[in-house]
Structures are given as C-alpha cells and as structure tokens.
A and B are shown apart, each in its own frame.
Chain A
Amino acid sequence: MKDEKLPDSDHVVRHCEKKFLYDDESVSAGNFQLRKDASGKIVEEYLSVGWLERYSVGTRATQLEALRRFMHPNIRKFHKKDKLAVLNVGKSIAAVHNGTDGLNTIRILHEPSEEAGREDEAHCGIFDTGVDEVRIAELLVEAIDEVVPAR
C-alpha cells in the first residue's frame, strides 16, 4: 500500500552509481544525497530504494538476483561498476535518529511506481533526508549492511 511504513526487520536496496563512489569502490554520502537542480534546489522528494523482500523469497543472494533481473535494464540501468547497498529498515532509522541526537527521523515508505513501462511494485522511498543532508547521508552509509555489485 502506498505510503505504508516498511517493517523494521525488512531491507531496502539503494542503487549506488559508480560516479558517486569513492575511488570507484566504496559507497559515499553522495550515493545517499538527493538530486538538485543547477541552483541547488532539491528536485527529488525522497531517495529511491527497492524493498528487497518484495522481489523474491529465499536467501539474500536470491533476493538480490531477483532485484537485478527485475530492475536492469528496463526499470533502471545498472552500469558495470555500480553497486547495490543493502540497508536494514529499523537499523537505518535508528542510526539517523541516534546519530543526530534525536533531531532527525527519516521515514522509509512504500512508493510503488506506476510509471508506464517502469512499473515497480517494490519501489520505496527514504524520506526526510534533506535536512542536515550530509550528516544523514553519512549515517546511512554507516548503516549499510552489505554492498554488492549491481551487475
């Protein structure tokens, strides 16, 4: 259901583009920052993520493989050196809350995409990252459970 909160025990996956990785290898805060226009104004409402448990049942590896097959290349193009970062929902929310002394609370909500040709029932968003964005992005990087190649 749209805008439904994800269970704390579930996981989301963030597509981390190569161009924002540190030395083409490790995920950076840039991978968790909202897109801006030329004037610096935020043009995204939330950070797009995929609800891992919705793509497949089974092991983590099975779920990730199902996500890759579903996403690439029709929904989202994964380039050769891009990464996928897996985050636990509850841990990520707590990391941001605790890491900002309770000042910031992010929300991870179900945002199924209905865009023609790019329908994605498992699409979700990480909301409220725009305030104190650098700090929150760094905290989300720290909260990552696992990083795997996107392809």
Chain B
Amino acid sequence: MPEDQMYRIIGGAFRKRAAAMAAATGSTESLEDEYLIDSQEEEVGTAFEWPTSTGTSSLPNVCFIITGKPKEGQAARFVMPMDTLLVAGYPQAGALLDWSQAVLEVNRMSANLRCINWKELPRPSDLLTATLFSSIKSDPSTTGALTRLVDVTQSQPATLESHLLYLLTASSLPYANALASRIQQISEALKEDEDERLTLAPQSIGHLISFLESNPRVAKPMLATSPLGHVMAKWIWNNGKMSIHFFPDGKAHCIISTPNPLHSEKQDQDSSVTTADALGIKLERQGALRLIQT
C-alpha cells in the first residue's frame, strides 16, 4: 500500500493527506481540515484508500476501509467530506458483531485488494446513511462538510446493515455494540423460520436508535419484534415496566405499567401514541422518562 494512500486515525482524528485526497476525488474543497473524532492522541486505526468500480452515478469511485478497534466504551466516529464513502470493517454480517474479527478480515482484504468481490460487501449507498451522520450533525466543527453530506445521505434509504454499521462504528450509545448484537440476533432468528419469511423493518430500527440517542441516559432496553418486523423495546424496573413499539412511519406506541397509587396490588396501564421523535419530550413531561434512565 503506497504511503500516500494511507490515512492514520489518530486519537479518533482523521488526518487527511491532502494531495492524495485531491487526486483521488478531484475535489476542489479545502482538504486541510482535520475532523475530530475524540480528543485522545493515540493511533487507533488506519484508513486505506480503496478505488472501487461500483460505478454509482451519484457517488465517486473512492472509498476508505477503516481498520482499528475502538477502546472499550469509545465509539469511533468518522466524519468525511461528501465525496468520500466510508467502509468500516464490514466483510460479512457475522463479523460485524466482533470488531476484532472484522478488523482482521479487513486487513486481509486490504493486503489483497484485487481479489475482493465487491458484491460481498454492502452497496455503497448502504454505507451512507442519514443516521450515520445524524449524531454528529450537532458538532459545530463539522457543519460545513456535513451540510451537503446529509443532503446526500438522507436521500439514501436506510437498511438493517447500515443501522448495524452505524451502531458499531459511529453511535455514541454506551451499549451500541450490544444493541447491534441483539438486532442482528433478532434478524437471524427471523431468517431461521423457513415457513414464514419475516424481516426487521429498517425504518423501525432507525426510530429506536434515534430515540435512544436523543435520550442518552435511557438504559439499554430489551428488544423484540412484532410479526410485521417492527421493533419493540422494553424496560422493567422494580414495580413497573414500559414497552415502546416503533413503527416504520415514525409512530411510537408507548405502554407504561405502574402500580395504582391507591391500590398498590393493582397495576395501571397507560397507553399513548405519538411520534418517535417527540417521545422523549412527552415521557419527560409525564415524569416517565426517569423510570427508564440509569
């Protein structure tokens, strides 16, 4: 791998090689920026430039393979200009759940790029998702680069794979890996049933992730799916429970069971329907959000 095609990820910062970048992308944008991932000054991985031949019309033919294993509790975040793609340790679905395995696989691939069958990887559009960048939109240092990027990514439909990729590489949730693992587990369980072909609804997963990231103190939920592939989240505490059904259209149905204030042996059940993006605010106003916070 020529030196000028390698990019080091230092302390979570993605330092670009300006000349190589310009040559690869033809971009006229300033390439001197350094995109901050976190503040630690430690090499956590390497990015390899990888010319592709996918020929998508709206996206350029350069992507990067990112290797490196984030430390415990540290989610690697990669912010790039809109004319790049991000591929992060994604050789196959099973390996997604094990960063070490994924990194090894990517390393192997990068040493032998010509043998790679691109079809084994997700489509480039899968890798660019609105959710991937939604959590970093608020970072003022990235606003310029992200504005157009988000425009592009929001036109790409999210997939289950892109949500898993996001959770494993970019999410700020402390339990992102466990959440991805459980989602993958549900997906596999649905596939196992030969009599009934069900799949998880990606939009439903997206609303769940958005809700959790918008309310970062919320504890990791238990997850299940409905027969339509809509994800359901549940929290149980000492004398109550809450279930939220996330529908693909953005609707969220929340059911809270708590003891009756006058008859503690009886459980009251409150049910309400709102939009997933308003759910946190609504639960906060009801005083119910604290029930599912750590």
Interface residues of A (CB under 8 A from B): 17-26, 28-30, 33-36, 40, 99, 134-135, 138-139, 142
Contacts and interface: CB of A to CB of B under 8 A. Distances in A.
Contact of A18 (B189, B196, B227): B189
B227 A34 contact: yes
Contacts of A99: 269
A138 B225 contact: no
B250 to A, nearest CB: 15
Contacts of B269: 99, 138-139, 142
A82 to B, nearest CB: 11
27 contacts: A19-B189, A19-B192, A19-B193, A19-B198, A19-B225, A20-B224, A20-B226, A20-B227, A22-B223, A22-B224, A22-B232, A22-B234, A23-B224, A28-B224, A28-B234, A30-B225, A30-B232, A33-B226, A33-B227, A33-B228, A35-B196, A134-B253, A134-B271, A135-B253, A138-B243, A142-B257, A142-B269
B219 interface: no
Contact of B224 (A21, A36, A139): A21
A17 B196 CA distance: 12
Given A20-B224, A28-B232, A134-B271, 11 more contacts: A17-B193, A19-B189, A19-B193, A19-B198, A19-B225, A24-B185, A30-B226, A134-B253, A134-B255, A135-B255, A142-B267
A135 B256 CA distance: 11
B228 A138 contact: no
Interface in B246-283: 253, 255, 257, 267, 269, 271
A25 B182 CA distance: 13
B225 A20 contact: yes
A35 B229 CA distance: 11
B222 interface: yes
Contact of B222 (A18, A23, A29): A23
B92 to A, nearest CB: 22
Interface string B178-209: 00001001100110110010100000000000
B245 interface: yes
A28 B185 CA distance: 16
Find the residue from B225, B227, B228, B253 having the highest chain A CB count within 10 A. Answer: B227
Given A30-B225, A30-B232, A138 B271 contact: yes
A21 B222 CA distance: 10
Contacts of A29: 224, 226, 232, 243, 245
A17 B198 CA distance: 13
A23 B223 CA distance: 6
Contacts of B224: 20-23, 28-30
